[in-house]
């Protein structure tokens, strides 16, 4: 698996071709602009391809045209890129229409607010009678349609709450906007001295800023369960007599004989009928080494056949496969995380009814004391505006936006709206091993000639074996040789013909060598050993040493490499942990009161990532794992992981400070409004000052080290 490079942070992703005919592919090993350019240039020359676009942030390829998916996969393999077909219909590819609508409403409200304020200057300057009424009418013609349009998100949410006899933050907001605009219209029609259309518009404008900032912190969240569904195989080769039929996976039945070609993903759980098979289970179990199976062994949907074509008898299809069961686990875990109540939402439960009660008391008190309903209503409106939760609505989004910007500049992409709040509460950290704390490594011997490297790369790039992919990456600057008659020998390696000599890449004994690991041999030359150490990810040791929380590792790998990692890092490591074992461990920790941060990259980690209180994944992770994570590490090094927790804790602290600012403002402003000394316009100006104070305080996030 290729490491993410620093260019990933700066390069803007390409857009995808639109249209229903776009074939989708997951590209988990792309990492920078060079990868994008190479893929797009090469695939553009494939017959039948009309357009091709690579999306770096999603690590996804979209191809339009009449080309068969198999040809695209073959071309990508020849380029040295790992690729998996995706079901475009199962993916969420909708545009951010909600964010675009909010931004449009914000722009309209801001433009109208400035124009109405300019008209108000004439009134403040002493315009009276017909002139004043004319300016008020012009302001009404501008403000009323804009309020009806721009404040729709608040009106819609408020109505949804009221329909089920519930209060939320948008109820007092909507009431303040409607009453300010309505009372201003009444005053205008009655030739009153004051109208407050600018107050209604400024209220809408500042609240939309908070709503848009909040939306931006949530908009990157995507369903990991949907990504798992997209990874499923959608067609299968069913053996009927002596002939194979290409059928939809949904048409497979228990007992069917299925043919799985070399390099293909297994479409259903079953029992191996072939004499032997070599399977890549790294995406399902985290086990770094390929698994050698014999006839009668179990095979799971989602595994990759990396040797010769094989036959299996289906024992579980459709909803009963292992991949579907894992998808169900992820969906359950995602639903649990989505039930988390944000800090602002918890505050709204108390704040909303208190505001209504206060405005009602103000109206009733002044109506009884003066008998002037009009004056009492103006005071009640001023109380509603001055207590309008503008600062409260900005308290968390303003800090979150500053924190997300800060983390992105350090190489961390925050994807979930409540991620920082949950990260601040973390008390325990669980790591995956393979692909997360450790990286597959290849040490190409200095004694290898350029010709030997070229032959080795030519053999390696046609194999799906993890070590072959790592060797291809290590020889990225080498031009592959013209090796012919290449074939893969199950459980041994790959061989072909080069300059009338047999060239082999594989296990030492198969090369007649005295070592057991990976090696290459050309003709009668001596075998060359290629060391394959598993190395710690850059910065992993420094991060664990600097973290002030207990850590442990759960890995699907074998006990021996797990024990080596435990010795290196000095933290507990559990080996041979299956996806359900990881999920059970997290549930046990949660039951004991721990708030767990899960850090992983594989398909076997997806359920645990979704179930954890907070989750983090490297950019090289499988797309489903990145979707389940709250934060994606865009750079190779893990050294700055402690910074994520420090920023998250600072986010919580600054958010609480912002709530305090809003509370102090209300303690000062509310008595003034209740006493009748604040007009709706003065209330709107005071509200704006409190909102700006909250925004300025939020920028202190940039000082966190």
Q: Which residues carry out catalysis? A: 432
Give the three-state DSSP class for 321.
coil
Of the candidates 632, 628, 631, which has an alpha carbon nearest to the alpha carbon of residue 332? Answer: 628
CA distances from 521 to 231, 445, 455, 468 (A): 36, 13, 10, 15
Instruction: Write the DSSP assignment of 554-615 as a string of letters.
Output: E-SS-HHHHHHHHHHH-S-EE-S--HHHHHHHHHHHHHTT--EEEE--SGGGHHHHHHSSEE
CA distances from 317 to 253, 258, 642 (A): 7, 11, 44
Please provide residue 639's backbone torsions phi and psi, each rounded to the nearest 5 degrees: -60, -30
Tokens of 656: 């609480």
> Residue 328's CB: how many other CB atoms inside 10 A?
14
351, containing H or E segment: helix 343-370
Of the candidates 308, 298, 310, 242, which has an alpha carbon nearest to the alpha carbon of residue 269? Answer: 298
Of the candidates 393, 436, 401, which has an alpha carbon nearest to the alpha carbon of residue 205? Answer: 393
CA distances from 169 to 87, 109, 356, 390 (A): 40, 20, 11, 10
Give the side-chain half-sphere CA count within 13 A for 378: 21
8-state DSSP, 621: S
Give the three-state DSSP class for 51.
strand
Cβ proximity of 388 and 176 under 8 Å: yes
Give the three-state DSSP class for 637.
coil
Instruction: Write the DSSP assignment of 85-153 as a string of letters.
Output: EE-GGGS-----HHHHHHHHHHHHHHHHHHHHHHHHHHHHTT--HHHHHHHHHHHHHHHHHHHHHHTHH
Of the candidates 580, 598, 607, 606, which has an alpha carbon nearest to the alpha carbon of residue 422? Answer: 598
Cβ proximity of 577 and 554 under 8 Å: yes
Query: b/e map of 625-644 (b: 16 or more CB within 10 Å)?
Result: bbbbbbbbbbbbbbbbbbbb
Could you tell me which residues come within 8 angstroms of residue 270 by beta carbon, excluding any fewer than 6 positions away? Answer: 258, 298, 299, 312, 313, 314, 315, 316
Cβ proximity of 76 and 83 under 8 Å: yes
The Cα 509–Cα 525 span in angstroms is 15
Of the candidates 19, 27, 15, which has an alpha carbon nearest to the alpha carbon of residue 89? Answer: 19
The Cα 587–Cα 658 span in angstroms is 34
355, containing H or E segment: helix 343-370
The Cα 185–Cα 192 span in angstroms is 10
Give the side-chain half-sphere CA count within 13 A for 290: 27
SS (H, E, C) 227-248: HHHHHCCCEEEEEECCEEEEEE
Tokens of 165: 């006899």
The Cα 108–Cα 44 span in angstroms is 42
């Amino acid at each position: 698996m290729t490491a993410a490079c620093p260019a990933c942070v700066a390069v803007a992703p390409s857009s995808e071709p639109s249209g229903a005919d776009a074939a989708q592919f997951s590209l988990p090993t792309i990492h920078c602009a060079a990868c994008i350019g190479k893929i797009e240039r090469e695939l553009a020359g494939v017959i039948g391809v009309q357009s091709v676009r690579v999306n770096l942030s999603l690590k996804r390829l979209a191809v339009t045209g009449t080309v068969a998916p198999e040809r695209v996969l073959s071309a990508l393999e020849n380029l040295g890129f790992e690729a998996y077909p995706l079901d475009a219909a199962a993916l969420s590819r909708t545009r951010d229409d909600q964010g675009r609508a909010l931004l449009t409403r914000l722009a309209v409200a801001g433009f109208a607010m400035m124009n109405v304020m300019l008209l108000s200057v004439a009134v403040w300057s002493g315009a009276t009678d017909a002139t004043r009424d004319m300016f008020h009418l012009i302001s009404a013609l501008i403000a009323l349609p804009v309020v009806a349009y721009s404040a729709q998100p608040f009106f819609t949410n408020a109505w949804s709450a009221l329909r089920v006899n519930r209060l939320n933050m948008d109820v007092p907001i909507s009431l303040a906007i409607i009453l300010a605009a309505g009372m201003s219209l009444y005053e205008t029609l009655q030739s009153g001295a004051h109208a407050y259309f600018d107050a209604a518009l400024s209220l809408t404008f500042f609240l939309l800023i908070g709503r848009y900032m909040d939306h931006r912190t949530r908009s990157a969240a995507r369903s990991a369960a949907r990504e798992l569904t997209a990874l499923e195989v959608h067609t299968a080769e069913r053996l009927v007599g002596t002939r194979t039929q290409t059928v939809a996976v949904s048409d497979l039945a228990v007992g069917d004989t299925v043919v799985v070609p070399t390099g293909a993903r297994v479409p259903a759980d079953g029992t191996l009928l072939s004499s032997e098979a070599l399977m890549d289970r790294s995406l399902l179990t985290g086990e770094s080494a390929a698994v050698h199976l014999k006839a009668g062994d179990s095979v799971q949907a989602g595994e990759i056949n990396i040797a010769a074509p094989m036959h299996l008898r289906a024992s579980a299809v459709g909803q009963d496969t292992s991949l579907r069961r894992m998808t169900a686990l992820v969906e359950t875990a995602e639903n649990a995380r989505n039930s988390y109540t944000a800090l602002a939402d918890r505050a709204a439960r108390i704040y909303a009814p208190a505001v209504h009660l206060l405005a009602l008391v103000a109206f009733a008190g002044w109506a009884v004391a003066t008998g002037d309903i009009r004056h009492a209503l103006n005071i009640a409106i001023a109380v509603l505006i001055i207590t309008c939760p503008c600062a409260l609505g900005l308290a968390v989004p303003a800090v979150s936006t500053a924190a997300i910007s800060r983390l992105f500049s350090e190489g961390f992409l925050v994807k979930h709206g409540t991620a920082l709040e949950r990260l601040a509460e973390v008390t325990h950290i669980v790591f995956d091993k393979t692909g997360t704390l450790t990286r597959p490594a290849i040490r190409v011997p200095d004694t290898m000639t350029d010709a030997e490297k070229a032959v080795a790369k030519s053999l390696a790039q046609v194999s799906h074996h993890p070590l072959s992919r790592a060797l291809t990456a290590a020889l990225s600057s080498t031009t592959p040789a013209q090796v012919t008659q290449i074939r893969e020998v199950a459980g041994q390696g790959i061989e072909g013909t080069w300059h009338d000599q047999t060239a082999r890449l594989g296990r030492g004994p198969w090369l007649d060598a005295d070592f057991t690991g990976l090696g290459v041999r050309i003709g009668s030359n001596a075998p060359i050993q290629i060391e394959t150490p598993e190395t710690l990810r850059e910065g992993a040791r420094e991060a664990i040493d600097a973290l002030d929380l207990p850590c442990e590792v759960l890995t699907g790998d074998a006990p021996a490499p797990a024990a080596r990692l435990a010795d290196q890092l000095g933290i507990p490591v559990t080996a041979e942990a299956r996806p359900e074992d990881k999920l059970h461990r997290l549930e046990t920790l949660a039951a004991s009161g721990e708030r767990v941060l899960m850090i992983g990259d594989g398909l076997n980690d997806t359920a645990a990532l979704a179930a954890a209180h907070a989750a983090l994944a490297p950019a090289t992770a499988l797309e489903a794992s990145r979707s389940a994570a709250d934060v994606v590490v865009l750079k190779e090094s893990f050294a700055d992981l402690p910074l994520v927790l420090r920023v998250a804790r600072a986010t919580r602290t600054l958010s609480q400070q912002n709530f305090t600012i809003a509370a102090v403002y209300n303690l000062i402003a509310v008595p003034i409004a209740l006493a009748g000394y604040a007009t709706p316009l003065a209330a709107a100006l005071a509200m704006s000052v409190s909102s700006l104070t909250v925004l300025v305080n939020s920028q202190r996030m940039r000082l966190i080290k």
